[in-house]
Structure 1
Amino acid sequence: MPDLARSHAVVIGAGMAGLTAAQAISRHFRKVMIIERDALPAEPAPRSGTPQAQHAHMLLAGGLKALQTLFPGFENDLAEAGAVKIRTGKDIRWERPGFDPFPIRDLGFDIFSMSRPLLEAVTRRRVLETPNIGICMRSRATKLVASRDTMRLEAVRYESEDGPAVTVEAELVVEASGRCGLTLQLLEELSLQKPEETEIGIDQAYASTIVERSIDHDADWLGNIVLPSAPASSRGAFLFPIEKQQWLLSIGGNHGDAPPGDRAAFMDFVKSLRTPTIYDAVRDARPVTDIVRYQLPCSTRRHFERLEAFPAGLLAIGDALCRFNPVFGQGMSVAAQEAVILDRLLAEDVLVERLARDFFAALQDTIATPWGVAVTDFVYPATRGVRPADLAQRLQYGAALTRLAAEDPEVHRLTAEVSQLLKPQAALRDPALAARVMSLI
């Protein structure tokens, strides 16, 4: 039951980060309000506040585990809503340079494949079943109100479409809006240092469409991933099975190699991929949606953990903390894991004056693994940012590890567990494993 000593919390944003944060907080506060700009659909449907939602998304095993922790029985909810159960290593065919395909193995655990709107709808339905959470839709948070004397957040001001501006008091506010604009604005107003930002400029562009998945599809896979032959080319694709017997196809490139928006040119791009597998599967498939496009200039990590001063009663979560290249499919899963960490800290009765410091510090191990993957974008010479001094060694190690994983099922499983955010990246540097990898370099 919520601790009655904690009265009111506010979450800004009703995306996956905001919904999971609200659920975590609801266990420790009498009332939680979510402020959301959009009108949220009752059924799965795209909305303007998540322009990337019509593209391929992957709920990694680590994210599924976190959601199961926050919402017991969540896997059953996904299955009942039509999400497709995927056996890791077996049902998705990976085509990567030198391995077309990568060895097919049952790695022992499942994930689910679905559209982002379906995942949000299932999560939102569970949130709305929590009695002490309410969502204030068609409302825009405009200002965080804090005391300069105590450096403590006191209230949130928001505007709604059908009423005057409202100021609501809160003991805890979590910004899950992605851009982190209100938090950065407040730090400036209080003359506090803003977090340093690390950027990896990848200029990622992708285009997506949903097509019918033929019931006569007789291949030994449900979905397919084609990885590019980097650095020579950045062209890759994801073909994922989703609800309603459909496939969601996303194609992408970076640094100016943007997929086109008209159907014929889109299919020409698919045909130009390194392997023909996806093109052969979808060339005669009936389109269900138009082609939608999206661009992300860079991955961004805000180092809140380095700040010496931060307003008490305020947190940032999800993309507000770290925005990853969407190609790696990490954002939603990391946000859910961050919410589980927040739940744990609140259960430990961490004082509000220490909560931000402890929260930002506790997240670093969770962020380190996916950010370590994002750093591999420096394989492309045009990628902007500070290149790691040991980039060549990292890439060599990764290539040798991939070759070892192709040969050894146990190493394959371990690499999958790390990429699925079930184990930390440090597991890939275990001395015994590292010695085997180095022998291949």
Structure 2
Amino acid sequence: MNTERAIIIGGGIAGLLAAKVLSGFYKEVVIVDRDAFPQEPENRPGTPQAFQPHRLTPRSRLILNRLFPDFIDELIKNGAHPTRGKCAHLFNPYGCMAAVEQNHNATFSRALLEWAIRGYIRRTENVRLLDLNEVTQLQTSEDRSRITGIVIRERKSGDRKRFTMTADLIIDASGRFSKTVQWLSELGYEVPQPERLKIDLGYSTRRYRIPAGRKEALDMIRIEGDPLAAAHAGAFSIIENDIAEMVLWNLNGRYPSTEPALFEQEIRHSGNSLLNDALNGLEPIGQPRGFRLLELSRQHFEEMQHWPSGLLIMGDAFCQLDPVYGQGMTLAAIEAEILEACVRRQLNQPKPRFELDVLQRMQDCIEAAWWLNVVSDLRWKGVEYFGAKPIQGLAFAQNYFDHILKWSTENANHGISGLYWLINSLFLSPQQLFNADMVAAMTAAGGSGEAKRWLDRWIEESDRPLVERLSQTIPSFEGATFAALDQLMPSS
């Protein structure tokens, strides 16, 4: 395995994390992006979703703190809002729970997050940022079995000169604008059809200036969507430099307005007094900005019989998740750790089909995130799934998750609600909730016994023991990597 140069297509979160881990193995790492990299925290044209909220989950915070020491402190130093000790009010159709942040954490904009990571990368001697350059083509060996480089078109000069760059490894981290499927098809490779989830998602976000003396009294507020109601879901939080943001979202084409008066009216119509009180007296900054996403997709490159050596793919270019659940950056961070471990292992113990092994390991982790996305989004009328195989355990998981949310909220059980959150943020395996002992205990909980009767009927349908029925119904996720609860201890 040669390690002279690695090229990363795309300088977003996934590309920056890939550059960080590869810088420990390759003599030179080059990030190529069609946008200009701003010197200050600013959104780029290539990230149309950047104005919408972005957050770190416990898993992504754990990984980023390892890759970039003192990362949270760096964010706070540059204006991010420290959240340790702050309260988050979490509303769902069954009530509200309040949770206090125990860890050293912060809230911020996507622009600040990306700028801070890019700052670490700029200080890495063997990483070069090549902005305002667009990758137009892959270069290959004569038999097209290996990717040897890329063709680049300059975007700085008026004549847009083209040049080539060779590499030992090329990673496509260009997100939803990826051309890898097109490039592979042009080279004669048969690419499997992706799974797709038609969601027709709409976001609208507005920012507000916080008057002096108000910030300390403001908490984070999140209102979960209700599949049985037409009302928008929403969230309010402080981001940075005395600025707060409010986002509304909905599925199946029920877009929140981007017209200021209508946007504010939709917030008031939520009927959430805590949210209305928080926004009272804040000064709007500009108009609400919308973001629309018609569908999600999950590629299956790991199933290809032939894959060119020297090429990998990660981030949204591999699998695009519903941004509502905040899993995208977490999955990119997990993939970066997989990439790091696989390159290290390949250098120490070289094996054939290295790239397909990496793609399979990434896919094993994608499986959990995709399954959780599909199970949740298909609760909404009008959302449609397209795939070669049906989603495992769909109805059971939907009913069970709903019971857990209802019971933990009505009983203010922070242990179960916390477990539910850690699973949905990819910190723990779904099997932590879907093992037979937990399923039996959770469905027995509650005064009415309705959940227990539902479980008994479900078991009787197949005349199989609960352990066996669950193993046949719910994915095992055994190939995925997860964190451990002892890694969740409050950090300084």
TM over 0.5: yes
CA distance in 2, matches of 1:131, 1:201: 43
Q: Which runs of 5+ in 2 are unaligned?
A: 446-450, 452-492
Contact 1:69 1:340 in 2 (8 A): no
Alpha-carbon displacement from aligned partner over 1:377-435 (angstroms, at most 9, x marks no partner): 11112012246474332221001212343333322332232233221222221332211
Q: What residue identity is the alignment partner of 1:382?
A: G
The answer to whether 1:18 aligns with 2:15 is yes
Shift of 1:46: 1.3
Question: Which of 213-222 and 14-23 deviates more?
Answer: 213-222
Equivalent in the alignment of 1:319: 316
Residue 124 of structure 1, aligned match among 105, 118, 124: 118
Equivalent in the alignment of 2:404: 401
The 1:275–1:391 alpha-carbon spacing in structure 2 relative to 1, beyond 3 Å, is farther
Aligned residues: 435
Contact 1:196 1:304 in 2 (8 A): no
Alpha-carbon displacement from aligned partner over 1:22-46 (angstroms, at most 9, x marks no partner): 1111111000111111111111011
Contact 2:202 2:290 in 1 (8 A): yes
Equivalent in the alignment of 1:94: 90
Helix, strand or coil at the partner of 2:408: helix
Residue 190 of structure 2, aligned match among 180, 188, 193: 193
Q: How does 1:259-298 map to 2 (within 5 A)?
A: 259-273=256-270, 275-298=272-295
Shift of 1:184: 1.2
Shift of 1:298: 1.1
Question: Which of 22-31 and 77-86 deviates more?
Answer: 77-86
Equivalent in the alignment of 2:481: none
Q: What residue identity is the alignment partner of 2:189?
A: L
CA distance in 2, matches of 1:27, 1:428: 37
Q: What residue identity is the alignment partner of 1:357?
A: L
The answer to whether 1:381 aligns with 2:375 is no
Equivalent in the alignment of 2:359: 360
Residue 73 of structure 2, aligned match among 63, 72, 76: 76
Residue 224 of structure 2, aligned match among 211, 223, 227: 227
Q: Which runs of 5+ in 1 are unaligned?
A: none
Shift of 1:110: 4.6
CA distance in 2, matches of 1:155, 1:50: 25
Equivalent in the alignment of 1:56: 53
CA distance in 2, matches of 1:168, 1:299: 32
When normalised by structure 1's length, the TM-score is: 0.93
Contact 2:218 2:278 in 1 (8 A): no
Residue 392 of structure 1, aligned match among 385, 390, 395: 395
Question: Which of 172-181 and 290-299 deviates more?
Answer: 172-181
Give the root-mean-square deviation of aligned CA atoms.
2.2
Shift of 1:352: 8.2
The answer to whether 1:413 aligns with 2:418 is yes
Contact 2:89 2:99 in 1 (8 A): no
Helix, strand or coil at the partner of 1:349: helix
CA distance in 2, matches of 1:59, 1:195: 32
CA distance in 2, matches of 1:87, 1:429: 31
The answer to whether 1:437 aligns with 2:436 is no
Helix, strand or coil at the partner of 2:276: helix
Equivalent in the alignment of 1:158: 152
Contact 2:176 2:320 in 1 (8 A): no
Alpha-carbon displacement from aligned partner over 1:94-141 (angstroms, at most 9, x marks no partner): 111111x22x24474454211000000000000111000011111101
Shift of 1:214: 4.1
CA distance in 1, matches of 2:132, 2:22: 22
Equivalent in the alignment of 1:303: 300
Shift of 1:354: 2.4
CA distance in 2, matches of 1:373, 1:247: 29
CA distance in 2, matches of 1:250, 1:75: 23
The 1:432–1:148 alpha-carbon spacing in structure 2 relative to 1, beyond 3 Å, is farther
CA distance in 1, matches of 2:192, 2:210: 46
Question: Which of 324-333 and 311-320 deviates more?
Answer: 324-333
When normalised by structure 2's length, the TM-score is: 0.83
